[in-house]
Structure formats: structure tokens, C-alpha cells
């Protein structure tokens, strides 16, 4: 997700801050867990859970980086000074709201709950195309993550049943995040992509609703079974069309359960 709030940058516009050590550590952990699971070096729910959750954090960083990078290219010169281009997970919002709650909802509901956020300056973006491109850049990175997981799933041997199951459920979480973020609901990327083309009064209403998007989504997940089931079915169909067998998704769910 993105937040369109103005911010002071102090004139710092270093365009190449470099990839953060924190992101590299997360990426290294994902790779190490994947090799260990695939090679049978580790077993059990703990390793599967750790792989899925670290992969989720990795995808979240890439999602928010997509927003930030396109915003920078579109004219928001304050982005580099904010550290968003470093892919550091600490930069993308409050740790509880941006990381802890999404992880909890992902596990409890099997849903890729959108968590990160970058604060951008909408006044710096030129025209209507750039704001729309910024909004869609995050889901585009989520799609890249999903495709990468699908490729790894198909490259893994059929004998690697545990690895295939873990990759399948991880891909489903990215699929749900993609579908959810593209919904035209205020506070989500789908609405942000449409916002530049809406009348001013509609924008004002949508912006007011966006401030409570987290509460609305939480309520939908907790109290609306129809919403969660529909989102799950659409996402499952998406990954199934990509060649991931639903039985592997179910097996992945069982693997990451810690209770």
C-alpha cells in the first residue's frame, strides 16, 4: 500500500542508497531455508512456517519498493532520503501494523494481508499517469514474486513434496495479496490507481475512507466469512491457473500450522 502524505526531505536526494543489510539477511534466510527444506536437512512445521513468513516479509519489501521507485522516477525526489529504496523492512511503516499484524492474519486466515506502507508526496507526481503507475507498481512487484514462486515450484522435483507444498502455500499468500491490493477499496492500491481519474468530491470521500482502511479490512476478515472465502477461492484459482496443484496448497497449510 501507499500513503499520499507530504513530507519534508531536507533537500537530500541521494539516488543510490544501496540495498540494506536487513533485506539481504532476510533474502539469505529465505534461500537457506528453501535449500534446507528441499534437501531434507530440516523438517517439521517450524521450518515451513519460518520459510513462509520470511518470504512474506521479502515480498512486502519488494512491493513497497515498487511504489517508492516509480514515485522517485515520477518526480518525488524525497524518496531516496526516506530510505525506501534500500529495501529495509524497517522503513515500510510501523512494525506492528506493517509486519506483526499481517503475519498474524496470514497465519490465522490464510490471507496475504497487506501490511507495508510508504509515505509519498502526491504533489510531486506529474499528471495522472504517474500516480496511477505508482499505485500499480506495488502489485506489479507482488506479481513478480508470485511468478518467481511459480517457477521455483515447477523447477522443484516431484520427489520434493515438502518443498513443493511450502512453495505452493507461499505462492497462494502472494496471490491473495495481489488480488486484495487490486480491489478498488479506499486505502488499497486498486483505489489509488483509480483516484486520479475520479471527480474531486469522490476523491475526498475515498480519502476519508482510506484513513480507516485498516479497521475496515480487519473487520471484514474477522466477521465476514463470505469476504474471506471469496478472496481465498479467487486466489486459489489464480495460482491453480499458474500450474500449482491445490493439493500442494493444502499440504502447505498443514505444514505451517504450529498448533
Which residues are part of the catalytic machinery?
64
In this structure, are residues 30 and 55 in contact, taking their beta carbons and an 8 Å threshold? Answer: yes
For the record, the C-alpha cell of 238 comes out as 489464480
Q: Residue written as cell 505508482?
A: 134
Parallel/antiparallel/unpaired status of strands 2-4 and 118-120:
parallel
Q: CA neighbours within 13 Å on the CB side: how many for 4?
A: 25
Q: Where do runs of H (alpha helix) occur along 13-128?
A: 21-38, 45-73, 79-82, 95, 101-109
- Four-CA torsion 31, 34, 37, 38, nearest 10 degrees: -110
Half-sphere exposure of 12 (CA within 13 A, CB side): 12
Amino acid at each position: 500500500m501507499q500513503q499520499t502524505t507530504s513530507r519534508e526531505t531536507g533537500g537530500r536526494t541521494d539516488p543510490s542508497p544501496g540495498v540494506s543489510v536487513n533485506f539481504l539477511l532476510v533474502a539469505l534466510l529465505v534461500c537457506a531455508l528453501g535449500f534446507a527444506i528441499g534437501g531434507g536437512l530440516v523438517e517439521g512445521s517450524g521450518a515451513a512456517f519460518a520459510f513462509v513468513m520470511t518470504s512474506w516479509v521479502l515480498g512486502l519489501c519488494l512491493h513497497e519498493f515498487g511504489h517508492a521507485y516509480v514515485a522517485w522516477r515520477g518526480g518525488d525526489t524525497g524518496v531516496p532520503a526516506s530510505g525506501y529504496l534500500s529495501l529495509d523492512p524497517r522503513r515500510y511503516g510501523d512494525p506492528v501494523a506493517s509486519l506483526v499484524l499481517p503475519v498474524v492474519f496470514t497465519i490465522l486466515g490464510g490471507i496475504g494481508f497487506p501490511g507495508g506502507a510508504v509515505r509519498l508526496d502526491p504533489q510531486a507526481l506529474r499528471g495522472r499517469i504517474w500516480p496511477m503507475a505508482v499505485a500499480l507498481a506495488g502489485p506489479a512487484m507482488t506479481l513478480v514474486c508470485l511468478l518467481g514462486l511459480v517457477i521455483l515450484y515447477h523447477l522443484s522435483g516431484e520427489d520434493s513434496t515438502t518443498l513443493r507444498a511450502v512453495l505452493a502455500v507461499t505462492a497462494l499468500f502472494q496471490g491473495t495479496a495481489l488480488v486484495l491490493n487490486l480491489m478498488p477499496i479506499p486505502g488499497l492500491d486498486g483505489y489509488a490507481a483509480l483516484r486520479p481519474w475520479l471527480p474531486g468530491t469522490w476523491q475526498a470521500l475515498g480519502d476519508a475512507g482510506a484513513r480507516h482502511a485498516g479497521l475496515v479490512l480487519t473487520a471484514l476478515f474477522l466477521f465476514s466469512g463470505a469476504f474471506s472465502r471469496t478472496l481465498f477461492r479467487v486466489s486459489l484459482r489464480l495460482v491453480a491457473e499458474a500450474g500449482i496443484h491445490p493439493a500442494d496448497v493444502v499440504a502447505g497449510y498443514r505444514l505451517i500450522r504450529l498448533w
